[in-house]
Chain A
């Protein structure tokens, strides 16, 4: 992290001295610390926290450079240094050429951010929203944060509102550290295609979106014979949902509903939703969020045995059902938060989350055994933009 931050600073300094054309530099930093009350040696699978204070998981530093190439053409690069990256290095989160066809139509080509959810476009910019991070119950469901391809946007300006349509496509690779065991998760998303339509005015934004992709896990191994049921191998995934945010006088409100629809893999289908209400009192914004992730999977269609290439017949139903049930973690979280705006470019936040995680296991009868676990997580964050 330190090394990455330093390199970012060097790149920043170089860019500002070398810039013959007008390069604009901006950036943001999130310093986030957290701890939970899980038993020693256990980790929260979703957000990566355990009973040791952790200032790395959610902390990041980003720098963004933009340059105008011509009146209607620009280039933007955003670099992010973050510990949860598998190689603990700097990643190019964004790198695109923008072309304004006219006031309404803008085309981005290169590495762009798909607008899967309400806050996806500025997911890393903690300063821009009320929480420390948007509810993981929903945002964890899709790991695609950028794609190499293109984004086409159409913005229709009405008198006091904007109707916008985003269409994007491309592919993406994602190397993240698995919070549960520290292994590297290496996913490839291909044939990503999605669209979003949004209506926004000075106080609210209403949006709906649909995104599909095929998922391949390039470094996982599943027991022989279970590939058809468990492996990510060009498996199709779809994400769709609706969202509404309101920022009206002292009231801040946001809600989203999203569905993750998976092909046959070890990952379940998930429905997730949340609602957040905040109230601005001067520089303070106390807020409350309730978020739910509800996962679901079919168990009936697994064959009892399968024949391997060498001719041997092996039982797979219990292996497949056991692995799938192990991923069926439902989750419901109450979060109490407080945002304090230090100035127009920095905010300090504290959050206390009370989660109930329902773990499933398969007892072979066939039915699921569910066990509830309560986890309380405290986090503190400093968000800065520049």
Chain B
């Protein structure tokens, strides 16, 4: 049992190395800091620091990128993130971002819209998107 858990951990950390926060090159955003990333992804702001509107697209919560990203930027587990959105949704404060799928779906969404921000495994980053922050 222990062995299985250990290999799962190794496997997971091998699968998700660094996570890159990506935007469309025409967003006018060059870089973000940790606090700005946290506020955008927790729906505490609806704008980029340059004042332009931001739209978050999310990974499916089953993806390892989801768990790693929110643990690192907000210190929240998948269960806690889920409760966080339930409370915001049913108190009328904000809506959970749209979950579009995995790395390639996030990249496509970012490529197609200058307002969109997302995060992907940094090894999955392709042309047509700009990395503005890296979660290590």
CB neighbours of A71 from chain B (8 A): 53
B: contact size bracket: 20 to 34
Docked complex Cα distance between A344 and B39 (Å): 23
Q: CB distance A121 to B86 under 8 Å? A: no
Docked complex Cα distance between A191 and B86 (Å): 31
The digit string for B44-74, where 1 denotes a CB below 8 A from any CB of A, is: 1111000001000000010000000000001
Q: Which of B17-25, B87-95, B123-131 contacts A (4 or more CB under 8 A)?
A: B87-95
Which residues of A84-119 are within 8 A (CB) of B?
Answer: 94, 96, 98, 100, 103, 106, 108, 112-113
Q: CB distance A26 to B82 under 8 Å? A: no
A254 CB, nearest partner CB in chain B, Å: 14
Asked whether B136 is an interface residue with its Cβ less than 8 Å from the other chain, the reply is no
Q: CB distance A128 to B83 under 8 Å? A: yes
Docked complex Cα distance between A127 and B80 (Å): 12
Other CB < 8 Å A-B pairs besides A103-B45, A157-B44, 15 of them? Answer: A26-B90, A64-B90, A76-B92, A100-B46, A103-B46, A108-B92, A112-B92, A113-B91, A121-B91, A125-B87, A125-B90, A128-B86, A128-B90, A155-B44, A202-B76
Hey, which bits of chain A sit against chain B, CB under 8 A? 24, 26, 28, 64, 66, 71, 76, 78, 94, 96, 98, 100, 103, 106, 108, 112-113, 121-122, 124-125, 127-128, 153, 155, 157, 159, 162, 202, 247, 341, 344-345, 385
Hey, which bits of chain B sit against chain A, CB under 8 A? 35, 39, 44-47, 53, 61, 74-76, 78-80, 82-83, 86-87, 89-93, 95
Sampled A-B contacts (9; CB under 8 Å): A26-B89, A64-B90, A96-B92, A103-B46, A125-B87, A157-B45, A162-B44, A202-B76, A344-B78
